[in-house]
Amino acid sequence: MKTESLQVDADTTLALRVYEPAGAPRASVVVGAAMGVRQDFYAAFAAWLAEQGFRVTTFDYRGHGDSLRGPMRAVRADLLDWVRDYEAVIACAKAAQPAQPLFLIGHSLGAQLPGLMRDTSAIDGMLGVAAGSGYWRDNPPRLRSVVHFFWWMLVPAATWLCGYFPGRRLRAIGDLPKGVILQWRRWCLNPRYGMGAEGEKAQQSYAAVRFPIVAYSLDDDELMTLQGVERLIGFYAHAPSTVQSIAPDEVQAKRIGHFGFFRPAFRSSLWPRAAAVLGAFGAAKVTGTTT
């Protein structure tokens, strides 16, 4: 693994990690992180994918993780800025291997943001993991019971007091820049999530996506329901897509949850499924078929 810096604009430098395979790469993979999750969470998974022949890039969005410069309260960034970061990382990964296909593995937010990208022509497929609409009525029942307190009281008050959302101290999501958490709040209160909150331009952007999508819904996901996953994939109205449900007992596990897929415990069960999906994307690109 090697660390790199990517200059996105005059004020923004992102921290990247690149995992190179031993031989010539089969394809490039960019891992888009979930909300509040640092790229090091995906390190074991990315290293394993590199062992399977993929060149893998992980990154932290601006104002977060290793890409944070200075105090978080000084960060001026929102989710649309994070979309631009994601685009820049994809362009960097494509430039490094221009002749090879490029795939995304989007964890939660990481599979939501591509629908808002200006140009997705470099993307040849996306695997979404635990990724769905964050609209509060699509949340699991246990989460819906506290959502009003969270979005109407805790988030506004804590963000106003601190100048950012102090999620680590509150044991909720993680530390997030003010612009990110307040925009995400607006998304989660809209029945059509980010696509609805951002208006007609966002709807057109999602509709323009044509790369194939496979979405994994985890049956015991404490943050995302199958309904939410299906709703998000429905936003990608013209992309060939498949939603697959995975239960813990299918892989002899007691629990997977929203974050478990990327834990080393699933190296021999869930991770090969992901590699197989990427392989199918690659085969479809060669034959000109859809997945």
Q: Please give the Cα distance from 263 to 245 (Å, whole number).
A: 18
Q: What is the CATH number of the domain that holds 209?
A: 3.40.50.1820
**Sign of the CA dihedral running 114, 211, 9, 38:** positive
Task: Note whether residue 37 is domain-resident.
Answer: yes
Burial code (b: 16+ CB inside 10 Å, e: under 16) for 172-188 equals bbbbbbbbbbbbbbbbb
Per-residue model confidence as pLDDT tens digits over 121-136: 999 999 999 999 999 9
Q: Which domain holds residue 268?
A: 2-144+199-287
Task: Note whether residue 109 is domain-resident.
Answer: yes
**Total of domains in the chain:** 1
pTM: 0.95
Per-residue model confidence as pLDDT tens digits over 193-250: 999 999 999 999 999 999 999 999 999 999 999 999 999 999 999 999 999 999 999 9
Burial code (b: 16+ CB inside 10 Å, e: under 16) for 224-252 equals bbbbbbbbbbebbeebebebeebeeeebe
CB-side exposure of 288: number of CA atoms within 13 Å? 0
Q: Find the helix packing angle between 178-188 and 79-96, rounded to 10°.
A: 100
Per-residue model confidence as pLDDT tens digits over 236-258: 999 999 999 999 999 999 999 99
Residue of 166, 169, 145 lying closest to 155 (CA atoms):
166
Task: Note whether residue 58 is domain-resident.
Answer: yes
Please give the pLDDT value at position 286: 59
Per-residue model confidence as pLDDT tens digits over 136-187: 999 998 888 888 899 999 999 999 999 999 999 998 889 999 999 999 999 9
Q: Please give the Cα distance from 188 to 78 (Å, whole number).
A: 14
Per-residue model confidence as pLDDT tens digits over 109-121: 999 999 999 999 9
Task: Note whether residue 234 is domain-resident.
Answer: yes
Please give the pLDDT value at position 287: 56
Task: Note whether residue 186 is domain-resident.
Answer: no
Output the six-digit token pair for 107. 């964890």
Per-residue model confidence as pLDDT tens digits over 256-289: 999 999 999 999 999 999 999 999 997 776 555 6
Per-residue model confidence as pLDDT tens digits over 45-94: 999 999 999 999 999 999 999 999 999 999 999 999 999 999 999 999 99
Task: Note whether residue 133 is domain-resident.
Answer: yes
Task: Note whether residue 174 is domain-resident.
Answer: no
Please give the pLDDT value at position 172: 85
Task: Note whether residue 230 is domain-resident.
Answer: yes
